[in-house]
Amino acid sequence: MRSVTQLALVAGAAAQVFEAPFALHRGDILDHPLPSVSKRNTFEPCAEVSQLWAAQVAQLSRPGAAPAQIRVPAKRAYECLLSVPVDSAGDLKEIDELKAYLQYQSTLPWLKAGVKGQIEPLDIIANLDIIADGIKKKSYKSDYDVQLSIRQLLDKAGDFHLQYIPDITNVFQFARPTGVLVSISTDGLALPKIYLFSDLPKTATGNIAASAITKINGQNATEVLQKLSEGTKYHDADTRYNTVFPNPALDALGTDSGGLSYAHYVYAGPTTTFTFENGTEKTIDNIAVIPSIFDFKQVSDGASFFKAFCSGPQAVLKPSGSGTPSATPKATSTQRPSAVATPTSLGLPGYPTPQFLQSSKKVSGYYLGDSYKDTAVLAIPAFSPSSIDSKYPDSTTGGFIETQALLQKFFADAVKAGKKKLVIDLRGNGGGTIDMGFELFKQLFPTIEPYGAARYRAHEAFHYYSALVADVALEGDDKDGKIGMDWDDADYGIQSTFLWSNILDKNLQKYKSYKDYYGPQTINGDSFTSLRRYNFSNNLGGHTLSASLTGYNQFKNIKTQPFQSDDIVIIQDGFCGSTCAIFAELMRVQGKVQTVAIGGRPQNAPMQGVGGSKGSQRLGMDALYQFAERTIKIAEALDGIAVANKLNQTAVGKIYNAEQIFVRTTPPPTGSLILGAVNSLNNQRMNDTTDTPLEFQYEAADCRLFYTTATYLDPVNMWKAVWEAKWGKGKCVPGSTGDKTAIGVLENKSTFGSKSGNAQQTNADGQPIESTGAASPISVSSVVATFAAMAAFVMMI
């Protein structure tokens, strides 16, 4: 049977955005001319792509050839995809199997109902049946259309934990090679306009002199970008709008995939035409990048394309395969093009000298200068710090322990140095290690017990697996070797949170019985397990057995709160999700800390700070397969073959015996078997009698600001602008404060900050008054380094 040798992160510990293999980052697309075929005999798009591929491979393998990547005209790639015949039998089997795995998706009934004005109703299972019907009725012209429909269906859920990436959607990465865009306001309050990134001024002190983009392909530019962003897996429209522009925080880490303006598996036309306010037009050829792993040698038409790339893992090249270029859009996140000269060893490019910098640069701390000397800043673009220190059993544990110590010291030093205020910049943060979110909260509020209660969807396969783990625990150790399989591990076995007696109920009490833990309870017409909370004193289900959170075990005597709630402010841009959403919920509901949201659609309205998945656990489909495998194998060992055979007839067997989804995700060397995942845990709010998962609750930030050139190009300016809005003379975007869901309003029935000058400005009809643009008094620091880094990007693309 298959075996999952290396799971990147243990199930209990991971909650973060998953990046598809070959996702393009800014700076990945090199500037060389788009090839074309000199002579076209008969028009066979895949043959033409293959020919273009071969010519480039030949050229690139010449000694001394410049690093480059294989690219073809977007239209040709798209036509090739459309010529791939539908594999009706295989696709129907795939959909059937996928439905079995998706039983683990914890939000199905809420997605189905939607939230008025916020989340469109989406019945995932019914839609898969509709796709299957379409296949039976032969309404799909190509296999690409089928697989694209499946991938887009799941992405439409706006939950980046929910994902399934069919092979055929991964062969070409569509991109617009130049013409990266930004959305910039003159003063942070006036509605922003769209500009070319390359039209940004050379320093953060400058204003954009260039002409704004009013139309894209002849249509309203804002609306086109909103439409393109619909395919990005966020549940909030302002967040989705932010994804089409480079994210400065992620750009500094080298992991930004925005700025290319659309989900790269979706074809967005042969060209892009911008119309500027001054009337000028500029047209760019869209391209498709072919990652070097894909070998087109045998491809001459749609059918041979299918044979090469859609029939299982054996079809793709080994990454070290000879004769293919080595420079490719890479899945690793830390590399940046070498032309970006900023010495990263000094810190994040464009950021000031840090007080501390975690070794993977995911967490860093700063002190502000000038008239903001009483303020410390934490920049956390991801909750996934890793460490290469060999002291630790793995890089995740090492990263946790390293970061915990750095944060403890940073807060202690800050208090000692008389810092009174803290700005936490979570821009770009798509989550990470679950414990990291709880840890930061505990360091800030050591006397508060974090809530973080959650539920699984209760269904047949999960029930048998949960019951099996309970049986194994009763069996005790495996001295006689009867169980055989890995049964005592911290990922899925009896040391994990999948054993009911390892976790606690919503009141932090032990469950009385398995039934008390598992339920199921009927909520919103579906079945769920009881609310569950972590027992942070036993370390189970977290990063590791070898580290404790602040406030527990060896750290239980830490009781000093470094900052008061009202002296903390959080910056978010909607990317926040997963572990970041867990942290944001704790800070908002239990810490009573306010948030400023950045960017979004050009409108005078509130904005949510958390637009990513608010679920509190992502389980890869590999893990779901493993659950099924263990259930059947261990049941056989404990209870005999008859029981195992019976389980094989249930939903467990459906998951265990799946074949086609393994074939059709043809995972490139990512260490996984199936490129897919579900959101497995619904995060719930304390005292919420409606039992609505957080993702389906609208939560406005307390204030909103748009980017200016100054705050876009220099994070220090961003921090100062937010400081001014919260504690100083700054204002928020008109109409953005005072929403009834903002924590400041819920707590104090007032608007953002404590000043009357910041109350929502409305006219006699209660309509927000357009800002006249009184800029925040930001003192602009030197940004030469920042801009040098950004400019290097511009030259690259």
Ligand X SMILES: *[C@@H]1O[C@H](CO)[C@@H](O)[C@H](O)[C@H]1NC(C)=O
- Is residue 150 classed as helix, strand or coil in its secondary structure? helix
With CB under 6 A as the contact rule, which of the stretches 276-284, 672-680, 716-724, 781-789 interacts with ligand X?
276-284
36 binds ligand X (CB under 6 A): no
Instruction: For ligand X, give the closer residue by CB, 361 or 726.
Output: 726
Instruction: For ligand X, give the closer residue by CB, 326 or 754.
Output: 754
Using CB under 6 A, pick the residue from 354, 542, 653, 728 that binds ligand X.
653
Q: Please tell me the count of residues contacting ligand X according to CB under 6 A.
A: 32
The closest of 495, 496, 502 to 532, measured between CA atoms, is 502
The count of C-alpha atoms lying within 13 angstroms of the C-alpha of 714, restricted to the half-sphere facing its C-beta, is: 25
The H helix count followed by the E strand count for the chain is: 23, 24
- Per-position x/- string for 672-701, each x denoting binding to ligand X as judged by CB under 6 A, each - no binding: --------------xx--------------
Residue 3 beta carbon to ligand X: minimum distance, rounded to whole angstroms: 18
With CB under 6 A as the contact rule, which of the stretches 81-89, 568-576, 589-597, 604-612 interacts with ligand X?
589-597
Using CB under 6 A, pick the residue from 566, 639, 691, 770 that binds ligand X.
566
210 binds ligand X (CB under 6 A): yes
Give the number of other Cβ atoms within 10 Å of residue 501's Cβ. 16
Residue 421 beta carbon to ligand X: minimum distance, rounded to whole angstroms: 12
Using CA atoms, how far apart are residues 184 and 194, in angstroms rounded to an integer?
Answer: 7
535 binds ligand X (CB under 6 A): yes
Instruction: For ligand X, give the closer residue by CB, 75 or 646.
Output: 646
Q: What is the DSSP letter of 181?
A: E
278 binds ligand X (CB under 6 A): yes
The closest of 484, 481, 389, 384 to 434, measured between CA atoms, is 384
Using CB under 6 A, pick the residue from 334, 546, 645, 762 that binds ligand X.
645
Using CB under 6 A, pick the residue from 13, 424, 444, 589 that binds ligand X.
589
Instruction: For ligand X, give the closer residue by CB, 285 or 566.
Output: 566
661 binds ligand X (CB under 6 A): no
706 binds ligand X (CB under 6 A): no
Both tokens assigned to 370: 């000038």
565 binds ligand X (CB under 6 A): yes
659 binds ligand X (CB under 6 A): no
- Per-position x/- string for 220-239, each x denoting binding to ligand X as judged by CB under 6 A, each - no binding: x-xx----------------
Residue 775 beta carbon to ligand X: minimum distance, rounded to whole angstroms: 22
273 binds ligand X (CB under 6 A): no
Q: Which residues pair with 762 in a beta bridge?
A: 768
With CB under 6 A as the contact rule, which of the stretches 298-306, 407-415, 483-491, 504-512 interacts with ligand X?
504-512
Give the β-pairing of 703-705 and 594-598: parallel
| Crossing angle for the helix pair 74-82 and 143-155, to the nearest 10 degrees | 110
Using CA atoms, how far apart are residues 771 and 753, in angstroms rounded to an integer?
Answer: 18
Both tokens assigned to 254: 């080298």
Is residue 770 packed enough to be buried (19+ CB in 10 Å), middle (13-18) or exposed (0-12)? middle
Contact 356, 409 (CB under 8 A): yes
Instruction: For ligand X, give the closer residue by CB, 199 or 691.
Output: 199
* Residues contacting 371, CB < 8 A, separation 6+: 779
| Crossing angle for the helix pair 74-82 and 45-60, to the nearest 10 degrees | 130
Residue 648 beta carbon to ligand X: minimum distance, rounded to whole angstroms: 4
The closest of 424, 356, 414 to 568, measured between CA atoms, is 424
Instruction: For ligand X, give the closer residue by CB, 80 or 426.
Output: 426
19 binds ligand X (CB under 6 A): no
With CB under 6 A as the contact rule, which of the stretches 314-322, 437-445, 471-479, 588-596 interacts with ligand X?
588-596
Report the length, in residues, of the chain. 797
Contact 10, 545 (CB under 8 A): no
* Residues contacting 764, CB < 8 A, separation 6+: none
CA distances from 506 to 67, 511, 625, 649, 684 (A): 56, 10, 29, 34, 10
Contact 41, 18 (CB under 8 A): no
Give the β-pairing of 213-216 and 219-220: antiparallel
Instruction: For ligand X, give the closer residue by CB, 210 or 331.
Output: 210
With CB under 6 A as the contact rule, which of the stretches 175-183, 208-216, 287-295, 334-342 interacts with ligand X?
208-216
| Crossing angle for the helix pair 434-444 and 395-416, to the nearest 10 degrees | 20
Using CA atoms, how far apart are residues 401 and 386, in angstroms rounded to an integer?
Answer: 10
With CB under 6 A as the contact rule, which of the stretches 43-51, 177-185, 531-539, 708-716 interacts with ligand X?
531-539
- Is residue 345 classed as helix, strand or coil in its secondary structure? helix
Instruction: For ligand X, give the closer residue by CB, 215 or 361.
Output: 215
505 binds ligand X (CB under 6 A): no
275 binds ligand X (CB under 6 A): no
With CB under 6 A as the contact rule, which of the stretches 245-253, 274-282, 346-354, 406-414 interacts with ligand X?
274-282
Using CB under 6 A, pick the residue from 207, 537, 546, 779 that binds ligand X.
537
First to last CA, the chain: 45
Instruction: For ligand X, give the closer residue by CB, 19 or 566.
Output: 566
Residue 747 beta carbon to ligand X: minimum distance, rounded to whole angstroms: 4
592 binds ligand X (CB under 6 A): yes
Residues that bind ligand X (CB under 6 A): 199, 210-211, 214, 220, 222-223, 276, 278, 280, 504, 508, 510, 535, 537-538, 565-566, 589, 592, 594, 645, 648, 653, 657, 686-687, 743-744, 747-748, 754
